[in-house]
Chain A
């Protein structure tokens, strides 16, 4: 039996560079950074900039009662899902609702809720914490709230694999759709980690940039912490055509593996094999790929290794493809990163524009690839990869392909 072709028919996002798809893409296309000073400042940190969601009032999206039951992270997931579902134009009848899955990625869970609850207990000597603490902390709260709000009764669960969480979620949704276990998936991720506890925990790793994020530069200052959410509607090509839906791109393949190597340092073999697995799964050859949205954290540990892995996989074809890390604009959103960057990749294919990387010379001496620097450029993108290589060596690579409607 032939496996069905799976396509993307709806997108939703909230991030430091835009609170919806149109703002997000406008920022990427024009090269507008979402990085700004932490507000309020934390003088004891070694860094002062973050990529926070701005101009955001939860009360614009939720009634006060509902908002009490939603951590900031979950709010981002639900807002992105609402936009993606509206964008897809899908309506869920009873049968469709029972055949729709919600697969989300979230690494840390309701960190703001946890931080506030523990501050009250430990910091202020509190005697009790809200009964909503546990329901708001659980990383799967987003999947639950999305399924409840839209009455979606297929499988709903959350994958936690640090910075690869939402790439794993989208890849798992692809498997479930291909197998026929579900007909439609709401897939993506959400994360919010800019609370005091998380900021200091990240600071201790000495990987956060004191300035901005400069992936692929010779002396990268480090990563920038971000937050946000991104969701997509995935369905079979047949289903999308039957309802006359607009198609952004095909989710063509997925490759995943683990380094079995180190908690924070990546191996060369893991990312290399994961990209190869995604290409094989998608039925793509190296010459078909025009763009890679890199994991590109802007750290010494990741970037040079990722470039080497790409050269290893693509050989001479590597010179022909364009590479960028959109993390330099929207920050590293951890559990949401794979989904936000998948959205950037899908929009790049759909709009025929390569999103740039913030770049300041000199280029890393080991990097000979075509980095899209500071300014977007038009390009026909036949196929693209979105890389996620998480702490602990958990690798997840998504492959997207242009569909007939893009050409």
Chain B
């Protein structure tokens, strides 16, 4: 079985949370008609999927699916300190 990439996992998790929209890596929250609460809601799903904590400062900057994928990859690589920013 092929291991699912971070990108694939992000797209799957966020895709599960939206109706009538095909989520792609270059989709923006704006075109998905996400408001601030919708964004919070899917970031929670992403945190659950990867068992990570997305820092509040980083969460504020996220506008696109690409931002999410990049952010998750950086957190998993240890580039973004998560616990200290809580």
Complex contact B41–A131 (CB within 8 A): yes
**Range for the number of chain A residues in contact with chain B:** 10 to 19
CB neighbours of B29 from chain A (8 A): none
**Range for the number of chain B residues in contact with chain A:** 10 to 19
Q: Are A65 and B18 CB-contacts (below 8 A) given A130-B41, A131-B37, A131-B40?
A: yes
Task: Tell me the bound Cα distance from A127 to B51 in angstroms.
Answer: 9
Q: Is A95 an interface residue (CB 8 A)?
A: no
Number of A-B contacts (CB under 8 A): 29
Q: Which residue of B lies closest to A64 (CB)?
A: B19
CB neighbours of A127 from chain B (8 A): 51, 53
Chain B nearest CB from A76 CB (Å) reads: 21
Interface string of A116-150 (1 = CB under 8 A from B): 00000000000110111001000000000000000
Complex contact B19–A130 (CB within 8 A): no
Chain A nearest CB from B20 CB (Å) reads: 8
Q: Are A128 and B53 CB-contacts (below 8 A) given A65-B19, A68-B17?
A: yes
Complex contact A65–B17 (CB within 8 A): yes
CB neighbours of A68 from chain B (8 A): 17, 41
CB neighbours of A63 from chain B (8 A): 19-20
Question: Using a CB-CB cutoff of 8 Å, which residues 31-53 of chain B contact chain A?
Answer: 37-38, 40-41, 43-44, 47-48, 51, 53
Task: Tell me the bound Cα distance from A18 to B35 in angstroms.
Answer: 36
Complex contact A128–B44 (CB within 8 A): yes
Interface string of A49-83 (1 = CB under 8 A from B): 00000000000000111001100000000000000
Chain A nearest CB from B54 CB (Å) reads: 10
- List B residues at the A interface (Cβ < 8 Å): 17-20, 37-38, 40-41, 43-44, 47-48, 51, 53
5 contacts between A and B (CB under 8 A): A64-B17, A69-B37, A128-B48, A131-B40, A132-B44
Main DSSP-derived SS at the B contact region: helix
Complex contact A132–B41 (CB within 8 A): yes
Complex contact B37–A135 (CB within 8 A): yes
Task: Tell me the bound Cα distance from A65 to B38 in angstroms.
Answer: 9
CB neighbours of A128 from chain B (8 A): 44, 47-48, 53
Complex contact B44–A130 (CB within 8 A): yes
CB neighbours of A135 from chain B (8 A): 37
CB neighbours of B18 from chain A (8 A): 65
Task: Tell me the bound Cα distance from A63 to B17 in angstroms.
Answer: 10
Task: Tell me the bound Cα distance from A63 to B51 in angstroms.
Answer: 27
CB neighbours of A132 from chain B (8 A): 37, 41, 44
Q: Which residue of A lies closest to B43 (CB)?
A: A131
Complex contact B17–A131 (CB within 8 A): no
Task: Tell me the bound Cα distance from A128 to B56 in angstroms.
Answer: 14
Chain B nearest CB from A164 CB (Å) reads: 32
Question: Using a CB-CB cutoff of 8 Å, which residues 61-114 of chain A contact chain B?
Answer: 63-65, 68-69
CB neighbours of B53 from chain A (8 A): 127-128
Task: Tell me the bound Cα distance from A128 to B50 in angstroms.
Answer: 12
CB neighbours of B19 from chain A (8 A): 63-65
Q: Which residue of A lies closest to B36 (CB)?
A: A131
Q: Which residue of A lies closest to B19 (CB)?
A: A63
Task: Tell me the bound Cα distance from A68 to B17 in angstroms.
Answer: 9
Task: Tell me the bound Cα distance from A131 to B56 in angstroms.
Answer: 13
Task: Tell me the bound Cα distance from A203 to B7 in angstroms.
Answer: 48
Task: Tell me the bound Cα distance from A326 to B31 in angstroms.
Answer: 50
CB neighbours of B47 from chain A (8 A): 128
Chain B nearest CB from A113 CB (Å) reads: 13
